[in-house]
Structure 1
Amino acid sequence: MRAPSPIRKALCVATLAACGLLMQGCSAVKLAYNQVPQLAYWQLNSYLDLSEIQTERVRDELGDLHQWHRDTMLPRHAELLQKVQQQLPSAISPDQACRTYDDVRAQIDKVVTQAEPKLVWLAAQLTDAQVRNLQKKQASSNADWKKEWVDVTPEKLREQRFKQLLSRAETFYGTLDEPQKAALRAFVAQSSFDPQRTYAERLRRQKDLVQVLQRIAEDRTNTDQARSLLRGYLARFNASPDAAYQRYAQTLVEEGCEGYSRVHNAMTAVQRLKAVHSVKGYEQDFLVLAAQ
């Protein structure tokens, strides 16, 4: 039930696409998953305007990463969903919700770790022109994000968040009735989400990425240094060097766990059963995809 992350990891999009596309509707999972390498390439290319030589290797690397994810991570995703199914029929505590959140984060971290050598190679190949292209894309996406989340009234912001979270919840639970909608609105109203603060961190992360890429470009043959610089960026992406922002981010996580618990516990037995069936559908699709 957290606010959606506004940050796009420009160099890590390939690793996250495999996870993110799986959260579409069950009927679209298989088609979407098999298109991940192509979609991830398009995303990277839109940010970096890859050369022909870079494109050939990036496509190969994405194919290898996708196959590894199919063989290694899809069964783990399915195992996690089995645990979730066991929880859904009953009330769920905030601690249980946070443990599931931590499990998801841990699985994404494994994908990022697997992708690291590929990201190091790509970072060392980028030209000054490609980094400038990245900055232009960042500026464009920032304008869109600011227009949607910052340059709005508090009332419109709350309504946008409510509608977004309602759509997500109804994907799993089916149509929500007034008691569940009231719990969801209460979560949104009490949330500490601050778009100005989130936007400032977004800009910090983007500037950090550009500076790291520029540092790597100073000595493209120094793979160890490139790896160290990229790891540092990813560490700062996950845990901001701003201690106040770290506390803010942790507050959002804790509120998200509490909010999910509150909304789930307001669901009827029929709605919880619908969620079990929805998650079961994802699990089955993951297992089928893993066997291909």
Structure 2
Amino acid sequence: MRWISRLIAALLALIVAGCSSVQLAYNNAPFLLQYQLDRYLDLDDEQERVLRAQLVELQQWHKSHALPLYAQTLRGWAQTLSRARTFTAQEILDKQAVLQDEALAFGQKAAQLLGPVIVTLGPTQRDRLARRFETSNREYAQEFLNAPDQGRSERRERFVKNYERWLGPLSEEQLTLLDQWLDTHPNNPALWAAERQARQQALLNLIAEAPQFETPDEASLALNDYLISLTSYQTPTIQARQQERRIALAQLSAELLNIMTDTQRKHLQDELLSYAADFESLAGTTATSRKLSSP
């Protein structure tokens, strides 16, 4: 598991996971994240104290800065669904770029605040994380490398689940388009296994360098560089093919949206507005005048 990636996503994932109490889950996010990181690194008491304080500050920044922006953006996107319209792959890519930019802003803030923790990590903790990675990689190999047919089935299930979360049940025409896309763009578990290991090694190298950082700011810069690297790929083969694949996936999404029913369009609009309301409630405010993108 890439615990740094999990850190960036976790505050939103707690909401998306559908917890019975969104407010409770979000308010307890720093403690849940601390627990996760402790499992992988076995932090000492002082590291736990510093991490807890930094995660609380990160959450406060996220609440005041990010959540209102997310809410306003989702409301803008929902507004575009008030009538039937044609979507394009470029529009999907533009929306992805908006989300990636905000994720990078979150990552930059996380890196800034976690510098004091990074400089204290030692060889024992690095070795513990390396063993965790080895276990995770064996599980990945067993699930995806040793059972390719099962991997394809689970991949389709994930795609269907992700699209249906926003659109509701897919039509037969939409499912056919999805199956055709999956057949045309097969996954390569071996390549992704190599990418996983490259990213893991980059993180382990960062932790190994921790004693060389003279200040937390130096550690923050190194961590931010690592987080930025996650927006691309460590493995050259994947890097070369992924841009084409990203465009193809945006085209699939546009095609599915362009044949969605009125019921699906209403479902998508309601989901966007529901998440926007959740974000506003968590932030304790309504959307600010700043926009991430134009509707």
TM-score (norm 1): 0.88
Q: CA deviation at 1:242?
A: 4.4
**Equivalent in 142, 148, 151 of residue 143 of structure 2:** 148
**Equivalent in 51, 55, 63 of residue 62 of structure 1:** 55
Report the counterpart of residue 114 of structure 2 in structure 1. Answer: 119
Contact 2:50/2:116, CA 8 A, preserved across alignment = no
d(CA) in 1 for partners of 2:98, 2:157:
26
Contact 1:192/1:251, CA 8 A, preserved across alignment = no
Contact 1:208/1:233, CA 8 A, preserved across alignment = yes
d(CA) in 1 for partners of 2:266, 2:76:
15
d(CA) in 1 for partners of 2:111, 2:278:
27
Q: In 2 relative to 1, CA 65–167 (structure 1 residues): closer, same or farther, beyond 3 Å?
A: same
Give the partner amino acid of 1:49: D
d(CA) in 2 for partners of 1:86, 1:26:
27
The answer for unaligned runs of 5 or more in structure 2 is 286-295
Greater shift after overlay, 56-65 or 176-185? 176-185
Report the counterpart of residue 274 of structure 1 in structure 2. Answer: 267
Alignment of 1:96-175 (within 5 A): 96-153=91-148, 155-175=149-169
Greater shift after overlay, 105-114 or 9-18? 9-18
Give the partner amino acid of 1:132: D
Q: CA deviation at 1:223?
A: 4.1
Matched position secondary structure for 2:154:
helix
**Equivalent in 45, 70, 76 of residue 69 of structure 2:** 76
Q: CA deviation at 1:27?
A: 6.1
Alignment of 1:207-286 (within 5 A): 207-217=201-211, 219-223=212-216, 225-240=218-233, 242-286=235-279
Q: How many pairs does the alignment contain?
A: 283
d(CA) in 2 for partners of 1:270, 1:180:
14
d(CA) in 1 for partners of 2:22, 2:152:
30
Matched position secondary structure for 1:125:
coil
Q: In 2 relative to 1, CA 107–126 (structure 1 residues): closer, same or farther, beyond 3 Å?
A: same
d(CA) in 1 for partners of 2:198, 2:9:
20
Contact 2:14/2:22, CA 8 A, preserved across alignment = yes
The answer for unaligned runs of 5 or more in structure 1 is 1-7
